[in-house]
Amino acid sequence: MSEAAQRSQRVPLLGGFSLLVFGFLYLPIVVLILYSFNRDGVGGFPPKHFTLDWYRQLFGDGPIWDSVLNSLLVALGAVVLSLVLGLLAALALDRADFPGKTMFRRLVLLPLILPGIITGLSLLMFAVTLGFARSLTLVFFGHGTALISVATTELFAGLQKMDRTQEEASLDLGATPWQTFWHVTLPNLRLSLVAAGLLIFTLSLDEIAVTFFLIGSDNTLPLEIWARLRRGITPEINAISTLIFAVSVILILIWYRIRTCTIGKEAQELLERPQKG
Amino acid sequence: MYSRAYKTIVSVPPLFWVGLFLLLPYALMFAHSFWLVRDGMLVHEWNWQNYVKLAQSPLYLDVLFRTARIAASVMVLSVFLGYPLAYYMSFHAGIRKELLYQLVIVPLWVSYLVRGYAWKTILGSEGVLNGFLQYLHITKEPVSYFLYSPFSVILMLTHIYTPFVFLPLYASLEHIPRNLIEASHDLGAGPRTTFLRVILPLSLPGLLAGATFAFVLTLGDFLGPLLVGGPSSVMIANIVQNLFGTAYDWPLGAAISVCILALTISLLFLTERLEKRWSFR
Amino acid sequence: MLLEVRQVAKRFGARDVLKSISLEIASGEFLTLLGESGSGKTTLLRLIAGFESPTSGEIWMNGARLDTLPPYKRHVNTVFQHYALFPHLTVQDNVAYGLRVTGVPAMEIPARAEAALRMVKMREYAEARPARLSGGQQQRVALARALVNRPQLLLLDEPLSALDANLRKEMQGELKALQRELGITFLFVTHDQEEAMALSDRIALLRDGELEQVASPREIYARPATRYAAQFVGQTNLLEAEVREGIASCGSLNWPTTMQPGPAVFSLRPEAIRLGSQAGPTPYAVRFRARIHQQVFAGSTENLEVDCAGQVLRVRIPARGTLSGEQEFFFEPADAILVRR
């Protein structure tokens, strides 16, 4: 926006309000981190005695780390499952016409926009009717299925941005469709695949609603924390939460960098335009 | 360019999987809503009883309306917080825009459970807020209303869903060509008029999308009440959860789920229609 | 004098986009800012519109300071390069916008909007949305929208650059006629020198943030002040000559001149060089032989590139069939214009 207009609109009120909103968004996180170092526990004000005891306790806590492992396994599995099916679905949406195509697209999006409880319960009913017990495997299926649309959306966008004539050139030069897919299509989708994978990984790690109904005796991390909460609040939970926060921040920053990598060149051009003439 | 075989290979597996693991389960839930539980056993008799019970029982209707009220409150508050933020960032943040955007997304990705838990520790009788107020001698006794009340549920869910409102809204605002703002100024409209006549109307699609998100997701939320809610803030999804747990009545639970599903889908359908009308392309 | 630009400079970061521009625009004139990309012409326009502020210098309009006012308080309106029509308003509402937001009585608005649309021949499209219109149609609406407010000064930022050639010519004619009819001062920005010559009362040629020359089209063409002006507006041959005792020498060409001794650059237009067989050489005519290097047929003219003892000259003569080998040419010394820089 032109600087003259910006200057005339310097609105300190708006800036201040925005700051407050940011404060509101970060308040719980700040409190969480702060009190994870507090000797006297989770409440009260102000926090007085600094300690790393809670972290020490956390690191010696077996069940928590078992649940972390479970979460990671499920997340990795979900990434693979979602990406494979999502890639096929994106290709299908981009290149094939079949009856019920619009229905398919909407159906795939449903788990994302519907409250998780509905998807979770549906899958539970399905599993029980077929005679399957609740288990971690079931959770893996649930995540993988629910997150297909994340992969599809991201990969579809990547396909649309891709230069179609590259594939035509490949075929023209004698490559089979399979070779073309391997050597031309996939490399072009590299960034989309990584971005989608990261997103799915993060969403799976934090997934609670669907997991809640499908989980058996092996907990994922969120459910392990949930179980602890029922027993009472301890700053150990603050400690693990702080670690989760740190990991989330790193993952999201990586995801963001990758995302904006593809836009990089266009953004450069856009930045240079207003300077001319 | 793509052979029949190619197209078949790419469409069949996802179609098959989604049909099996999404369509079928949702259909199964739908079917369950027409069945019964008798003497603690699931009976596959087709009937409308569950829906009749829902329509006639004041208990369920009350909870549904309360849930809708909470969802509406969360939606309004999220917009109240999210719109000025998105507007400020899009039009006044300049170079810091990118950084601020990442800062807004970060809380969105931090575990829902973690943030809910954080509010629990803040709002409790021995929590941080009460401690803070007592420290400043603003209150002498802990205020119990902060936690386990509709207030805490609304507060927590607003905190969760404000970024959800922010994202599509910000995208919409960013899409407004800046030369429209200049044109408006050029023609004699000051900043306030320009906002009301140009920016606001053009931001409606994003606003609508975000607000719908917040409403629909709050409607089906069950964790919030479990974490920070009390008996007066039980929401419809909690009822469903109970019916699938200790209260064992899957068909009734399925019926309520179908109602939530129907409500959600019709809302989304409505907003999609509105968005198309308002996107001025 | 309607508008005075007083030593205005503009800096973006480390770049001096405008280096100290002083310009006066008379009421009712059609002035064109002509220049390449990066010359600063659009920046100057935006400073007058109010979307940027000068780093130094002042802008005055009608005896009052202009550059300290925000755009919505200036009696200046802009036709944007990409039209900037409001997509959520109909054509009629777009045009009426400026009237509504400045508090014109509601009863007057429909009539004035309609009149503006009629002026640009877009009345039948009043209820349409901008997205449905072609580029040319959108441009007319943008024009109507800017004019309806009866500004004292209308700024046009390369309004015709997105149109195809024929539509462009048509719109040029319409714009010129409109300006004469309304008597509003037009400040027009373009990089197309033919367009500038066709439309303007005066041209302000900008280069790298500085004014090269400000004069009427005929003046700039016949007497370019600088090498750049000579080459940018129309085509020319630049003769780097040495003046000694009233004779300028450049290669094998010599012609009389009143210039001081020393090096000097002269501009000689291709159409000023004629074939020896053509009529009309005066006794002062400078004759020379040259070998025809290249000949391009251009309908009514032949554009030749000739080699005169190692010096390449461009010549334009009326069409007369293919020529070959060496020919005799001449030009009048008066047509060799001294160029200052």
What are A59-117's pLDDT values in tens digits?
A: 888 889 999 999 999 999 999 999 999 999 999 988 888 888 888 888 888 888 888 89
Binned at pLDDT 50, 70 and 90, residue A4 comes out as very low
CATH number of the domain bearing residue B65: 1.10.3720.10
Strands (E) in C257-325, as ranges, are: 262-268, 274-275, 286-297, 301-308, 311-318
Q: By the CB < 8 Å criterion, does C209 face chain A?
A: no
The two structure tokens encoding residue B224: 């919030």
Look at residue B28 and tell me if it is in a domain: no
pLDDT of residue B90: 93
Q: Mean per-residue pLDDT for A144-158?
A: 90
Q: How many CB pairs under 8 A join B and C?
A: 72
Q: By the CB < 8 Å criterion, does A43 face chain B?
A: yes
pTM for this prediction: 0.82
- Going from N- to C-terminal start, the domains of chain C cover 3-223, 235-339
Against chain C, the chains showing at least 3 CB pairs within 8 Å are A, B
Summarised one tens digit per residue, pLDDT across range C38-95 is: 899 999 999 999 999 999 999 999 999 999 999 988 999 999 988 899 988 999 999 9
**Among the partner residues A10, A125, A244, nearest to B111 by beta-carbon distance:** A244
H/E stretch holding B271 reads helix B250-278
Look at residue B176 and tell me if it is in a domain: yes
pLDDT of residue B170: 94
pLDDT of residue C36: 94
pLDDT of residue A211: 92
**In angstroms, rounded to a whole number, what is the distance separating the alpha carbons of residues A224 and A67?**
7
Look at residue B69 and tell me if it is in a domain: yes
pLDDT of residue C91: 96
b/e per residue, A213-229, with b = 16+ CB within 10 A? bbbeebbbbbbbbbebb
Residue to mutate among A27, A33, A94, A125, with most B CBs inside 10 A, is A125
Host domain of residue B258: 57-278
Percent of chain C with pLDDT over 70: 100
Q: Is B249 left (phi over 0), alpha (psi -120 to 50) or beta?
A: beta
CB–CB contact C88 B189 (8 Å): no
Distance from CA of C291 to the nearest CA of A (A): 41
pLDDT of residue A264: 56
Q: By the CB < 8 Å criterion, does C50 face chain A?
A: yes
Distance from CA of B127 to the nearest CA of A (A): 4
Percent of chain C with pLDDT over 90: 70
Q: What is the CATH number of domain C235-339?
A: 2.40.50.140
Q: Among all chains, which residue has been given the structure tokens 């024929």?
A: C166
Q: Mean per-residue pLDDT for A14-40?
A: 89
Question: What average pLDDT is seen over chain B?
Answer: 89
Q: Mean per-residue pLDDT for C21-28?
A: 95
**Among the partner residues B105, B115, B222, nearest to A28 by beta-carbon distance:** B115
Q: By the CB < 8 Å criterion, does A96 face chain B?
A: yes
CB–CB contact A3 C37 (8 Å): no
- Contact in structure between A17 and B81 (CB atoms under 8 Å): no
Look at residue B44 and tell me if it is in a domain: no
Residue to mutate among C86, C91, C104, C152, with most B CBs inside 10 A, is C86
Residues of C in contact with B193 (CB under 8 A): 101
Question: Which segment of A37-46, B117-126, B139-148, C81-90 scores lowest on mean pLDDT?
Answer: A37-46
Look at residue B258 and tell me if it is in a domain: yes
Look at residue B77 and tell me if it is in a domain: yes
Query: Under CATH, which architecture does the C3-223 domain have?
Result: 3-Layer(aba) Sandwich (3.40)
CB–CB contact A21 B128 (8 Å): no
Look at residue B242 and tell me if it is in a domain: yes
Q: Mean per-residue pLDDT for B212-236?
A: 91
- Mention every residue, 6+ apart, whose C-beta is less than 8 A from residue B197: B184, B189, C97, C101
Residues of A in contact with B178 (CB under 8 A): 1-2
Q: Mean per-residue pLDDT for A201-225?
A: 90
pLDDT of residue A7: 46
Give yes or no on whether C3-223 and C235-339 have one common fold: no
**Among the partner residues A5, A275, A276, nearest to C71 by beta-carbon distance:** A5
Binned at pLDDT 50, 70 and 90, residue C209 comes out as very high
Strands (E) in chain C, as ranges, are: 3-12, 15-25, 30-34, 56-61, 64-65, 76-79, 153-157, 185-190, 202-207, 210-215, 237-244, 247-250, 253-256, 262-268, 274-275, 286-297, 301-308, 311-318, 326-331, 337-339
Residues of C in contact with B172 (CB under 8 A): none
Residues of C in contact with A8 (CB under 8 A): 70
In DSSP terms, C24 is beta-bridged to C4
Q: If you count them, how many residues does chain B have? A: 281
Look at residue B43 and tell me if it is in a domain: no
Res A274 pLDDT > 50 = no
Res B275 pLDDT > 60 = yes
Binned at pLDDT 50, 70 and 90, residue A3 comes out as low
Question: In the sheet that C237-244 helps form, which strands lie side by side, from edge to edge?
Answer: C253-256, C247-250, C237-244, C262-268, C337-339
Question: Which segment of A32-36, A95-99, B189-193, C329-333 scores lowest on mean pLDDT?
Answer: A95-99
**In angstroms, rounded to a whole number, what is the distance separating the alpha carbons of residues B78 and B210?**
9
Summarised one tens digit per residue, pLDDT across range B152-206 is: 999 999 999 999 999 999 999 999 999 999 999 999 999 999 999 999 999 998 9
Percent of chain A with pLDDT over 70: 90
Residues of B in contact with A167 (CB under 8 A): 1
Q: By the CB < 8 Å criterion, does C73 face chain A?
A: no
Q: Cα C191 vs. chain centroid, distance in angstroms?
A: 7
pLDDT of residue A277: 34
Res A42 pLDDT > 80 = no
CB–CB contact C78 B197 (8 Å): no
pLDDT of residue A263: 57
- Contact in structure between B214 and C127 (CB atoms under 8 Å): no
Q: Which residue of B has its CA nearest to A172?
A: B1
Q: By the CB < 8 Å criterion, does C284 face chain B?
A: no
Question: Which segment of B26-35, B185-194, C5-14, C123-132 scores lowest on mean pLDDT?
Answer: B26-35
Number of domains in chain B: 1
Alpha-carbon distance values, A61 to A73, A230, A240, A243, B115 (Å): 19, 17, 11, 14, 22
- Mention every residue, 6+ apart, whose C-beta is less than 8 A from residue A60: none
pLDDT of residue C7: 95
